[in-house]
Structure formats: structure tokens, C-alpha cells
């Protein structure tokens, strides 16, 4: 089946730093989704990407849909304490609505 | 957008027992899904809850272990049957996703099996 690998697995940064994480796939996706999961909550959609090469921003977050359609990147600028959580990439299996989730990147902000 | 609630939010159960988790959506949705998230892991799709017909299970998940009901377009239940400690996980329901629309998630049910 399809697999989505995220790197890094975890990040420890100081408040104010920029963050970059990526997601790679063994197969092509036509849509890339980035979710954030806060402790004790379900995932919340941050950004959706629908076209190869697309670059989309949502406040301090910027995500890109890779040209090969096998990868995506998420950047967070000027991190703040509420950015702490687990970030998942996800993509719908080709032709249906079922989502495959990435392995996740856990973001921790060091005081 | 859809607001999704789950009950219970958490439970501690004895092995061999069963627990039914409820998922309520604040609007009618075509697609509802159930996921499992084991400790420190990503989300794995258990099944698609189909309204008016049997759920569609993913590889590795079976109806006898995870029976699912979907009586209408706003409600679904997942039962974790004959539980063992390996079933300790977060169970999440989601709704939406049809035709490229956003898939929304409930807050999850945290299950600990002793």
C-alpha cells in the first residue's frame, strides 16, 4: 500500500525559530493535506494542496506540493508556543476519499 | 465545516470486555470513517462506515473485532470487542472528504485495556 514518510521525526526548537518538515511518498498523490494534532485532540486541517508545484500559505504556515507529486513540504515561520504538537501529512488514496497518514513530525519548543 | 463529538472521551476497561464508542456529527455527511492511533504512532484507517449497509474494512481489521453501525447520516458507532491490552489506543472518527472536501476529525476516545 501507499506509505508516507515524514522527516524529521521530531524537532526541538526555540521560540521564534523557523521550522521545515517534509513528507515523501512511494507513489503519486493528487492531493496533499497537512494536519496538526494537539495533545488530547483529533487532527485539524492546516493546509490543502491540489496541484503539482502549488505553494499555499495560511498565516505563518507555507506548504508546497512537489513537482513529482511524490512529496510535500511544510514551513512554519517564527514559531510560537501554540505551534507545539504533531504534524501529519496525508493524502487520499487515488480515486477515493480514504486518507493515508504520514508518520508524523513532533514539534517541541524549548523554553 | 463539521463539528464532531465522541463519547466516551476516555475509558479504562478490563480485558475480554467490549466498548462501544459513539460519534455524532452536527450536519449530515456522506462519508464517515474510523481510525486507530496507537501510542506514539500515526493514524491507521480501520473502516469506512457506510450508511444503510455494512462497513468497509481495511486490511487487518475485521467486523467481528470492530463492528460498526451507521444508522443515519449524522451518527456512527464503533465497538471494540473482546478487548486485550493491545487494543489500548486512541480511536478517532472523521467525516467528510467526498469530492475533495475537507475531512474533519473528532477529539478521539482514549482507551486503556488492563
Given pLDDT bands bounded at 50, 70 and 90, which one contains residue B100?
low
Residue in B21, B42, B110 to test binding to A, most A beta-carbons within 10 Å: B42
What is residue B52's predicted lDDT score, i.e. its pLDDT?
Answer: 85
Give residue-wise pLDDT tens across range A85-109. 999 999 887 666 788 999 999 999 9
pLDDT of residue B59: 93
* pLDDT value of residue B99: 66
For position A93, what pLDDT does the model report?
72
Identify whether the C-beta of residue B55 lies closer than 8 Å to the C-beta of residue B40.
no
DSSP state of B102: P
Q: How many angstroms separate the CA atoms of B93 and B32, rounded? A: 7
Question: Which neighbouring-strand residues pair with A107?
Answer: A11, A85
Angle A95-A101-A102 from CA coordinates, rounded to 5°: 125
Q: For A1-5, A100-104, A106-110, B41-45, which range has the lowest pLDDT when averaged over its residues?
A: A1-5
**Residue of A31, A40, A103 with shortest CB distance to B100:** A31
Tell me the pLDDT band of A8, cut-offs 50, 70 and 90: very high
* pLDDT value of residue A1: 61
**In chain A, which residue's Cα lies nearest the Cα of B57?**
A98
pLDDT digits (tens, 9 = 90+) for B51-95: 988 999 999 999 999 999 999 999 999 999 999 999 999 999 999
Find the Cα–Cα–Cα–Cα dihedral B110, B100, B67, B112, rounded to 10°.
Answer: -10
Closest listed residue to residue A34, CA positions, set A75, A86, A89, A99: A89
Most A CBs within 10 Å, among B1, B29, B33, B43, to test the A interface: B43
Q: What is the pLDDT of residues A14-69, one digit of tens each?
A: 999 999 999 999 888 888 999 999 988 999 999 999 999 999 999 999 999 999 99
Q: In this predicted model, which residue has the larger pLDDT, B114 or B31?
A: B114
| pLDDT > 90: percent of chain A | 77
pLDDT of residue A18: 97
Name the grid cell of B101: 472536501
Amino acid at each position: 500500500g501507499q506509505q508516507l514518510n515524514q522527516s524529521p521525526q521530531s524537532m526541538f526548537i526555540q521560540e521564534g525559530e523557523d521550522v521545515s518538515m517534509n513528507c515523501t511518498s512511494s507513489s503519486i498523490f493528487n492531493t496533499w493535506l497537512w494536519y496538526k494534532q494537539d495533545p488530547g485532540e483529533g487532527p485539524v486541517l492546516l493546509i490543502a494542496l491540489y496541484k503539482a508545484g502549488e505553494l499555499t500559505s495560511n498565516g505563518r504556515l507555507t506548504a508546497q506540493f512537489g513537482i513529482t507529486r511524490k512529496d510535500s513540504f511544510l514551513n512554519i515561520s517564527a514559531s510560537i508556543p501554540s505551534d507545539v504538537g504533531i504534524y501529519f501529512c496525508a493524502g487520499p488514496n487515488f480515486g477515493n476519499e480514504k486518507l493515508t497518514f504520514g508518520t508524523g513530525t513532533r514539534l517541541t519548543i524549548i523554553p | 465545516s463539521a463539528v464532531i463529538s465522541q463519547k466516551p472521551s476516555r475509558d479504562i476497561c478490563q480485558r475480554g470486555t467490549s466498548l462501544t464508542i459513539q460519534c455524532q456529527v452536527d450536519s449530515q455527511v456522506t462519508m464517515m470513517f474510523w481510525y486507530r492511533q496507537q501510542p506514539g504512532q500515526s493514524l491507521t484507517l480501520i473502516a469506512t462506515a457506510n450508511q444503510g449497509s455494512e462497513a468497509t474494512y481495511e486490511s487487518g481489521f475485521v467486523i467481528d473485532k470492530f463492528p460498526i453501525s451507521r444508522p443515519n447520516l449524522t451518527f456512527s458507532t464503533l465497538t471494540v470487542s473482546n478487548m486485550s491490552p493491545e487494543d489500548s489506543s486512541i480511536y478517532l472518527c472523521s467525516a467528510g472528504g467526498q469530492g475533495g472536501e475537507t475531512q474533519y476529525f473528532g477529539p478521539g476516545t482514549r482507551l486503556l485495556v488492563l
